[in-house]
Amino acid sequence: MNGLAGEVGGLVYSVGAGPRERQTIIDLPALDVKPGELTVLSGPSGSGKSTLLYLLAGLLVPDRGRIAWGGEALTGMGEARRDRWRRENAGFIFQNFHLIEELSPLDNVLMTGWFGGFSTRGLRSRAAALLERFGVPIERRRTSLLSRGEQQRVAIARALLFDPSLVFADEPTASLDGAAGGLVTRTLREIADEGRTVVAASHDPALLSIADRTVRLDHGRLVPATQAEAA
């Protein structure tokens, strides 16, 4: 597996209606994400780490600046192309898992295969293998009966169905207790070790401790490494 390298330059993202009311949320002169690394965006609440993650995933469009993955500029793409890029290159893990309770765990993993644009051959066995790998019994019919840790592992399996080179995770352990969080942390480390680029927004010390790189943010700006270490 070859993870994608990320390049960010001159990134500015602001919100608000008029020029006077606009508030800059992200102001990032440069950031490189190395392929196959687990990079954690950290910082206190409101620091902009989740917003940066959404920008990196192409879910938000910056006011200006450039984001590129594997040399392909995300910022030049229209919405439909960004959807397609995400579908083909990235997996996404959420804090609250966002599984569809009315579907079985297996169908939750298979769901991204229903979006179209992929060959669905062998997907069912791959989905079953992923669930098995992450210790979720595939015979379970009701997602709502899974523990929170199991639900997050189903979400990770869903993110990996098409073997993406890039995985985004938004506060993946924030809704889990210590043991379940630890298991998810180790899983993220594992999938990075397989060569994928993993970018997570988190302030979980356990995840920070196993990250290849930590990017600290404060009010949408990078905190220099020396300050970050002091903090």
Q: Which residues bind other proteins (CB under 8 A)?
A: 50-51, 54, 57, 59-60, 79-80, 83-84, 86-88, 90-92, 94, 98, 100-103, 107, 111-112, 114-117, 158-159
In the complex, the smallest distance separating the C-beta of residue 70 from other proteins, rounded to whole angstroms, is 16
Cα–Cα dist 34/106, whole Å: 32
CA angle 92, 98, 104 (to 5 degrees): 105
H helices, E strands: number in the chain: 8, 10
**Cβ-defined contacts of 147-153 (< 8 Å, 24+):** 147/180, 148/97, 148/175, 148/176, 148/177, 148/180, 149/176, 149/177, 149/179, 149/180, 149/181, 149/183, 149/184, 150/105, 151/97, 151/99, 152/93, 152/97, 152/176, 152/180, 152/184, 153/183, 153/184, 153/187
In the complex, the smallest distance separating the C-beta of residue 6 from other proteins, rounded to whole angstroms, is 17
* Distance separating the N- and C-terminal Cα atoms of the chain: 35
Nearer of residues 92 and 134 to other proteins, judged by Cβ: 92
In the complex, the smallest distance separating the C-beta of residue 47 from other proteins, rounded to whole angstroms, is 15
In the complex, the smallest distance separating the C-beta of residue 103 from other proteins, rounded to whole angstroms, is 5
Nearer of residues 217 and 223 to other proteins, judged by Cβ: 217
Nearer of residues 31 and 60 to other proteins, judged by Cβ: 60
Nearer of residues 80 and 179 to other proteins, judged by Cβ: 80
Residue 25 CB coordination number (10 Å): 21
**DSSP assigned state of 13:** E
Q: Tokens 């207790």 correspond to what residue?
A: 177
Nearer of residues 84 and 133 to other proteins, judged by Cβ: 84
In the complex, the smallest distance separating the C-beta of residue 228 from other proteins, rounded to whole angstroms, is 26
In the complex, the smallest distance separating the C-beta of residue 137 from other proteins, rounded to whole angstroms, is 21
Nearer of residues 13 and 134 to other proteins, judged by Cβ: 13
Strand order across the 213-218 sheet? 90-93, 166-170, 197-201, 38-42, 213-218, 221-222
Nearer of residues 16 and 224 to other proteins, judged by Cβ: 16
In the complex, the smallest distance separating the C-beta of residue 226 from other proteins, rounded to whole angstroms, is 32
